[in-house]
Amino acid sequence: MGAEFVQFSLTPILIGMFAAMACALPGNFLILRRQALIGDAISHVVLPGIVVGFLVSGTIAAGPMGLGAAGAALVAVVLIEAIRRFGRVEPGAAMGVVFTTMFAAGVLLLEQTGSAQVHLDVEHALMGNLEQLIWLRASGWASLTDPAALATLPPELTRMALACAVITGLVLAFWRWLKIATFDEGFAQSLGIPTGALGFGLVIAAALAAVAAFQAVGSILVIAMFICPPAAARLMTNSLTSQVCWSLLFAALSAIFGYVLAGYGPLWLGGQHAVSAAGMIAVVSGIILGLAALLGPCRKGAQAI
């Protein structure tokens, strides 16, 4: 049991956890800034970037696809800002226009790659391939100390852990700025905090999380992870620090329970096949949000008393 777990479940669960936590961190601030839709937008717009990266390089290597995704995220941010300024429409509408158009363009591009022999299809883009990120060379927990086995860890694990660490570092480094500027932007500007650059940096951090997570867990899960754990965390506490900690806990729990339920849940219920892990992780995070909304100590209703 132990060996099988390490081989087939440990790395997907860890990758899912890192992806969920990397998205939840910027998600906290996006939600408090009433910009939750930005996370949604980013996870959509990276699709055409990834496809273009794939078409240009001809491989599903992480480098070119990541570059394409980052480029697409930048293009989207600039487009949204341009439409908002010159079109004089509200930010939500500008985002809606940009991300649906770019996502649709991505799907069209994706169809053009259909003849290629390489695995990049719509389902993969939406659901990721978490179940395939297994550690075949592992023979048990002892492999964690075996350099030869460690060298064959899925590269997604290292990449996702690195992205998670970078985003954690950025949030910690700019914590005070983020807190003041998110609460009271005018006051932050009067202090000399560069709120424009800070907001842009937050979007870039979110894009980094989305790009790193996209290949492993797909765009549906990325959207859920930006919003569900932070939104549930807000209902648990009235302190920003605790909110961020709760959101990390919820993100990790979603990944663990979601993966296990997807793999074994259907069998327990007498079914034959496992269901999509990414889908189940998103469902679990939604259920956690639902429970927090019903029982959380800092709901609107609970505060009134």
Partner 1 sequence: MTDLPAHSPLAVRGLSVTYGDKPAVQAVDATFPRAALSAIIGPNGAGKSTFLKACLGIIPRLSGEVSIFGQPFAQARGRVAYVPQRASVDWDFPTTALEVVQMGQYRRAGLWGRLSGSARAQALDCLNRVGMADFATRQIGQLSGGQQQRVFLARALAQEADLYLLDEPFAGVDAATERAIVDVLRGLRAEGKSVIAVHHDLSTVEDYFDHVFLINQRAMAEGPVARAFTPDALHATYGGRLGLAAAPQTVQAAE
Q: Is 187 a residue that touches partner 1 (CB under 8 A)?
A: yes
Give whole-number Cα distances, 246 to 67, 236, 250, 289, in Å: 32, 8, 6, 12
How far apart, in whole angstroms, are the C-alpha atoms of residue 200 and residue 170? 13
Residue in 108, 136, 162, 173 binding partner 1, rule: CB under 8 A: 173
Residue in 107, 204, 240, 287 binding partner 1, rule: CB under 8 A: 240
Residue 127 or 236 having the CB closest to partner 1:
236
Q: Which residue, chain included where needed, has tokens 């599903």?
A: 60
Instruction: For the CB of residue 253, give the shortest distance to partner 1 in the complex, in Å.
Output: 20
Q: Is 293 a residue that touches partner 1 (CB under 8 A)?
A: no
Q: Would you say 29 and 178 are in contact if contact means Cβ atoms under 8 Å apart?
A: yes
Contacting range for partner 1; rule: CB under 8 A; set: 4-12, 47-55, 115-123, 230-238: 230-238
Q: Would you say 262 and 279 are in contact if contact means Cβ atoms under 8 Å apart?
A: yes
Residue 141 or 183 having the CB closest to partner 1:
183
Ranges of H-type helices in the chain: 2-5, 11-32, 36-57, 62-87, 91-112, 122-127, 147-150, 155-173, 175-183, 185-190, 195-234, 240-268, 277-295, 300-304
Residue in 9, 35, 43, 182 binding partner 1, rule: CB under 8 A: 182
Residues 25-44 close enough to bind partner 1 by CB under 8 A: 32, 34
Residue 31 or 163 having the CB closest to partner 1:
31
Residue in 12, 234, 252, 281 binding partner 1, rule: CB under 8 A: 234
Residue in 237, 260, 275, 287 binding partner 1, rule: CB under 8 A: 237
Instruction: For the CB of residue 103, give the shortest distance to partner 1 in the complex, in Å.
Output: 29
How far apart, in whole angstroms, are the C-alpha atoms of residue 108 and residue 93? 23
How far apart, in whole angstroms, are the C-alpha atoms of residue 255 and residue 247? 12
Residues 68-127 close enough to bind partner 1 by CB under 8 A: 88
Residue 175 or 264 having the CB closest to partner 1:
175
Instruction: Count CB atoms within 10 A of the CB of residue 298.
Output: 16
Structure tokens given for 67: 């570059």
Instruction: For the CB of residue 289, give the shortest distance to partner 1 in the complex, in Å.
Output: 16
Give whole-number Cα distances, 180 to 9, 168, 172, 196, in Å: 41, 18, 14, 13
DSSP string of 113-168? TTTSSS---HHHHHH--GGG---TT--SGGGGG-HHHHTTS-HHHHHHHHHHHHHH
Q: Is 179 a residue that touches partner 1 (CB under 8 A)?
A: yes
**Per rule CB under 8 A, count of chain residues that contact partner 1:** 27
Residue in 119, 190, 269, 270 binding partner 1, rule: CB under 8 A: 190
Measure the CA dihedral 209/163/21/135, to 10°: 110
Residue in 100, 184, 290, 293 binding partner 1, rule: CB under 8 A: 184
Residue 132 or 239 having the CB closest to partner 1:
239
Binding-site ranges for partner 1 (CB under 8 A): 32, 34, 88, 173-174, 176-177, 179-180, 182-184, 186-187, 189-192, 234, 237-240, 242-243, 298, 303
